[in-house]
């Protein structure tokens, strides 16, 4: 696949996942009177798994890097107050944790070595020998 196609697909996937996780990170649930911010872990996990999946599918770190750049751009846009005074990221500890931990974890994940796809010829050969 050509590099431009990788950049476009990774950018589209990155925009969608980043927008959804930007809203999902603030989700919380009450368990026996304790507020548990499971959305933070869920949002970061989805972003990390998406980067690993993109890198593996395209067999290049370019896909994960484009995703990380798009995530940063969308997250910064969500963190900046609009002209009408709307703010998506409020000043809370889980929003700050999403920004800081997300930047660190996603950049670390984007530069991981690419996992190889399983080779189908090995599976066919091993099945024919059995």
- Give 44-94 pLDDT, tens digit per residue: 999 999 999 999 999 899 999 999 999 999 999 888 888 888 788 888 888
**Neighbouring C-alpha atoms within 13 Å toward the C-beta of 5:** 4
3-state secondary structure of 30: strand
**Total structural domains in the chain?**
1
Q: Give residue 45's pLDDT.
A: 94
- Which region holds residue 96: left if phi is over 0, alpha if psi is between -120 and 50, else beta? alpha
pLDDT surpassing 60 at residue 122: no
C-alpha distance across the termini of the chain, in Å: 35
Dist CA 32 CA 119 (whole Å)? 49
Burial class (CB in 10 A: 0-12, 13-18, 19+), 83: exposed
In this prediction, residue 37 carries a pLDDT of: 84
- Helix, coil or strand: residue 81: coil
Q: Which domain holds residue 79?
A: 3-129
Q: Whole-model pTM? A: 0.83
Distance CA 118, CA 124 (A): 12
């Amino acid at each position: 696949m050509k590099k431009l196609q990788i950049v476009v697909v990774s950018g589209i996937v990155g925009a969608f996942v980043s927008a959804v996780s930007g809203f999902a990170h603030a989700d919380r649930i009450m368990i026996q009177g304790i507020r548990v911010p499971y959305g933070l872990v869920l949002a970061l996990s989805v972003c990390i798994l998406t980067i690993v999946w993109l890198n593996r599918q395209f067999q290049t770190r370019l896909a994960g890097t484009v995703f990380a750049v798009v995530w940063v751009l969308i997250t910064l846009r969500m963190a900046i107050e609009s002209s009408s005074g709307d703010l998506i990221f409020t000043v809370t500890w889980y929003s700050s944790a999403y920004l800081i931990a997300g930047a660190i974890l996603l950049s670390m994940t984007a530069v991981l070595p690419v996992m190889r796809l399983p080779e189908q010829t090995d599976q066919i050969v091993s099945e024919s020998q059995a």
